[in-house]
Structure 1
Amino acid sequence: MPDIVLLRHGESTTNLANVFTGWTDVDLTPQGVAEAHRAGQLLHKHGFRFDVGYTSYLKRTIKTMDIVLEELDLLWIPVQKTWRLNERFYGALQGQNKAAAEAQYGAGQVLLWRRDPYAHPPAITPADPRYPGHDPRYQHLTDRELPLTENLSETLARVLPFWTETVMPALRQRQKVIVCAHGNSLRALVQYIDKLTDEQVTQLDIVTGVPMVYQLNDNLERVNHYLLTE
């Protein structure tokens, strides 16, 4: 089977500002742009080629993917965008500084919301301007699919259909795949691929702009994986 590369977008403006981002559509920082170029250069150096790419609906992944593919002279390959790869929806925490949230709710509670697979951050209502139902890119989603808040297990539940219905068939056709997504949507994917327990996934950090290479067998089970850093 061809390798598959998973990549978290380059540093975003809200990563830099230590803010809960979620589905907020923020841009890359200059450092994030540099991280994307570096990822593309590393993939080029090690001879990676791709037939298809997948990103979320959010421009920090879209721009990262474009930069990576430009470094590989592969801007012409198809790139499919899907809401299923969006970052976890952080509910009422979305747009709030993380230190301010800890001061308001307590560091232990915020850590629980961030890392416990079943803990929900405070929910918003459909009247909230942050509700994705107001955004035209999500008009095709059902009320049930539009989140008011989301825990990590629910992020995994919406990411997995993308993996099983889209990525797995592409891999079985021997296509070379790159996925550019977010810290939590990738955490959900990695939990599934690596068969991590809930406790293990709470300790998992996925850094921005560093390609994760997964080598899979014919059953699409992980044989090996490594970070591409030099």
Structure 2
Amino acid sequence: MERLLVLVRHGQSEWNLKNLFTGWKDPDLTERGVAEARAAGGKLKDLKLTFDVAYTSALSRAQRTLALLLEELGQPDLETIRDEALNERDYGDLTGMNKDEAREKFGEEQVHVWRRSFDVPPPGGESLEMTAERVLPYYRSEILPRVIAGERVIVAAHGNSLRALIMDLEGLSPEEILKRELGTGAPIVYRLSDDGSIASVQDLKD
């Protein structure tokens, strides 16, 4: 029985391009983001992978990435479950602010703490720890049981919601996960054992 879980970060968004804190705002993909999403589907097609169910966030950049990817795979009508539990980390008062301007306003060290510490949230927002507190219960109750049962599952989401998942899957420390960079539109293919642990992992980044 194959227990397949594929994670993919959405393609480049308009706010990624503008270097803005995005969080729960809902910009669309850029042309490059569309190409990244299609390329992700192509990489999975090359591996002859198909899926039984897809999960994504409540945000359109992840949903559109998934839709484009599934088109490339020839599975445009795949059962797709959308839930805000998989949304990006909420950046609170930083949302919509240019990252360079934020450094000028608050100081480089403070912005670095907000972005790269595990448990310090920006004003009005979420830390990575808080993001994990909503992502992981959803994963364990909704997604993992389907993988364990032998379904092939793909999750299209965001840098930080996926970091929370990867931290749990790979048993990483807060320091290790904060150093983990996830490329836009780069699938990570996990094959799991019957207890949910990793049997193998394949990162399809360029």
Q: TM-score range by the shorter chain?
A: over 0.9
**TM score, norm. by length of structure 2:** 0.97
Please state if 1:157 is matched with 2:133: yes
Distance 2:49 2:105 in 1: 46
1:11 aligns with 2:12: yes
Q: How does 1:66-215 map to 2 (within 5 A)?
A: 66-123=67-124, 149-215=125-191
SS of the residue 1:178 aligns to: strand
Tell me the distance in 1 between the aligned counterparts of 2:27 and 2:98.
14
User: The residue matched to 1:47 in structure 2 has which SS?
Assistant: coil
Q: In 1, distance between residues paired with 2:205 and 2:159? A: 18
Runs of at least 4 residues off by over 2 Å: none
Give the TM-score normalised by the residue count of structure 1: 0.87
Amino acid in the other structure paired with 1:34: A
Counterpart contact for 1:212–1:228, Cα < 8 Å: yes
Q: Which residue identity does 1:84 align to in structure 2? A: A
CA distance in 2, matches of 1:226, 1:63: 23
Which amino acid is 1:101 matched to? A
Partner residue of 1:129? none
Per-residue deviation, 1:229: 4.0
Is the contact made by 2:183 and 2:205 (CA closer than 8 Å) also made in structure 1? no
Give the distance between the partners of 1:197 and 1:169, measured in 2 at CA: 24
In the other structure, the counterpart of 2:65 is 64
Query: Residues of 2 paired with 1:3 and 1:165: CA distance?
Result: 17
* Aligned residue in 2 for 1:225: 201
Q: Which runs of 5+ in 1 are unaligned?
A: 124-148
Percent sequence identity over aligned pairs? 42
Say if 1:37 and 1:166 are closer, same or farther in 2 by CA, change over 3 A: same
Aligned pairs, number: 205
CA RMSD, aligned part only? 1.0
Q: Is the 8 A contact 1:11 1:29 kept in 2?
A: yes
Q: Residue 160 of structure 1: SS of its match in structure 2?
A: helix
